[in-house]
Amino acid sequence: DGEEREINHADRRRLHGFTIEDLLDEGQEILVQINKDPIGTKGARLTCQITLPGRNLVFIPQTDHIGISRKIEDEETRDTLRSLIEELRPQDTGFIIRTVAEHASREDLEADMEFLMLLWDEVKDRSASSPIPALVYEDLDITLRSVRDLFSHDVDYLIIDDENAYDKLVRFVNTFAPQLKSKISLYRGDLPLFEAYGIDVEISKALDKKVWLRSGGYIIIENTEALTVIDVNTGRFVGKDDLNATIFKTNIEAAKEIAYQLRLRNIGGIIIIDFIDMEDEQHRENLFDIFKEAVKKDKSRINILKLSEFGLVQMTRKRSSENLNQMMCEPCHYCTGEGVLKSRRTICYEIFRKISRNSGRSNGSTVTVRVHPRIADMIIKEEEATTGRLEQDTGKRLIIAPAKELHIEKYEIIWQH
C-alpha cells in the first residue's frame, strides 16, 4: 500500500548507515512490534519502529516525518492534508496520512491524532511497568480492524449476523466514522449468512487450483513454498475470429481475473504468470497496460517486471499474513504432505453451517454427526461453545460419533426423532 511505502521510507531514513550492533547491546530490553506474521517455515518479523494505525492516520511516535499515501493522487489534496498535519502535530512526531483521509475533515484528523497519542502514552506506561517479556498492546480484533481499514465511502453496505458483534461495531463506527453507521445492518434471515449471499460457494472456488473464465478459458494457480505460478489456457474457447484474436481476448480476461484472485486469495511473495504467447507486439503492450491497471485496486505493495518475449510476467506482492490456502487448509496426511486438505476447523464449521441450514426441515429432536476421529476430537474438545450455541439455536441435541473408516473430509449428518 502507499501508506506502507511511506512507513518503510521513514524507517530506512532513520536507520541509514547503522548496523544491528550499533543499535543494540546483548541483554538490552527493547520495545518491538510484530509487523509480519510467521508464514510457513519463516518466523515473525519484528521492528523497533512502532506504528499505531488509526482510521485516517498512522502514528510513528519515534520519527519526525510526515508522509501521505500514494493512493491519494490529487496534488492539491496532498498539499492541503500535509499542511494540516504539519499544523496539528506535536514537534518530533511522525504521521502517515492514510488513503481514507482524502475525504476526512479537520475535526476527523484532529480526533484521530489525539486518540493515537493517548494510545502511545498508554503503551509507554504499560511497557515501563510490565515484566519482560510482556504483551503491552494488541491491535483491534479482525471485525473492528476490517471496519477501520476497509470500510470507506465506496463500500455500499456491511452485513453482520452476530448481534453482540453488531452492537460493538455500531459503537465503534459512532466514534470513528458516524457517517457510515447507516451502512451497517444486522442480518436476521433464516438461511446462514454465508449461504444467503453465496459466500460458501465462493470460498470453495477460491480454494480450487482451476479458475474458469467466462470465455471458456481458464487459469491454473499453483502455490509452492518459494513462489506462486499462474498458467493461462484457452481451454474450450476457440473464438469466432482468428487464433491471435482469441489468444488476446483470453489473456485480457485472464489478466483482470488474476488481479482479482491475488487479492481474494491473499497470494504474496514471488509470482510468475504465464500468459499465452502472442506474436503481435501491440497486443503484448496492451495486455501489460491492462494488467498494471487491474492491480491498482490492490492495497498490498506490488512490483511488476515487463512482459517477457515468452509471455511471462514476474512480479512480487507484499506478503504480511497467510494466504487463503494456508489459512483454511493443512498438509494432506494421506499423501505425506504432497497435497492439501481442508483444515479440521474448516470442516467443523462446514458441518455446523449445514446443520444450521437444514435444521428447520427436520422434526426430529436429535442430530447425529458421523465424522473422522480427528474431526470428532476437535468438535468435542475445542468447539464446545459453538456446539452449545448450535443446539440452543436449532433446538436439536447434537451427538458426535467418531467413524475411523471415513475420509477426514467426509461426514454424515443423520436426523433422528
294 in the same domain as 355: no
Dihedral sign, Cα of residue 340, residue 344, residue 348, residue 353: negative
Does residue 335 lie within any of the structural domains? no
pLDDT of residue 239: 54
The answer to whether the CB of 403 falls within 8 A of the CB of 371 is yes
Q: Which phi-psi region, left, alpha or beta, contains residue 250 (left: φ > 0; alpha: ψ -120 to 50)?
A: alpha
The answer to whether the CB of 161 falls within 8 A of the CB of 199 is no
- pTM score of the predicted model: 0.67
205 in the same domain as 184: no
Q: Quote the CA–CA distance of 408 and 333 in Å, as a whole number.
A: 10
Q: Quote the CA–CA distance of 83 and 221 in Å, as a whole number.
A: 45
The answer to whether the CB of 315 falls within 8 A of the CB of 348 is no
126 in the same domain as 15: yes
127 in the same domain as 7: yes
- In the chain, the N- to C-terminal Cα span, in Å, equals 56
291 in the same domain as 260: yes
Which parts of the chain sit beneath pLDDT 70? 1-17, 236-241, 335-338
Integer CA distances (angstroms), 114 to 54, 58, 171, 173, in order = 10, 12, 19, 17
Q: How many beta carbons lie within 10 A of that of residue 314, not counting itself?
A: 15
The answer to whether the CB of 308 falls within 8 A of the CB of 278 is no
pLDDT of residue 364: 81
381 in the same domain as 295: no
Domain assignment of residue 164, given as a range = 146-188
312 in the same domain as 250: yes
- Which is it for strands 366-371 and 397-402: parallel, antiparallel or unpaired? parallel
399 in the same domain as 281: no
Q: How many domains does the chain have?
A: 4
- Considering just the CA atoms, what is the radius of gyration of the chain in Å? 25
pLDDT of residue 166: 93
128 in the same domain as 69: yes
229 in the same domain as 113: no
115 in the same domain as 220: no
pLDDT of residue 151: 84
48-90 tens-digit pLDDT: 889 999 999 999 998 899 999 988 889 999 999 999 999 999 9
User: Torsion angle, CA of 45/46/50/52, rounded to 10 degrees?
Assistant: 40
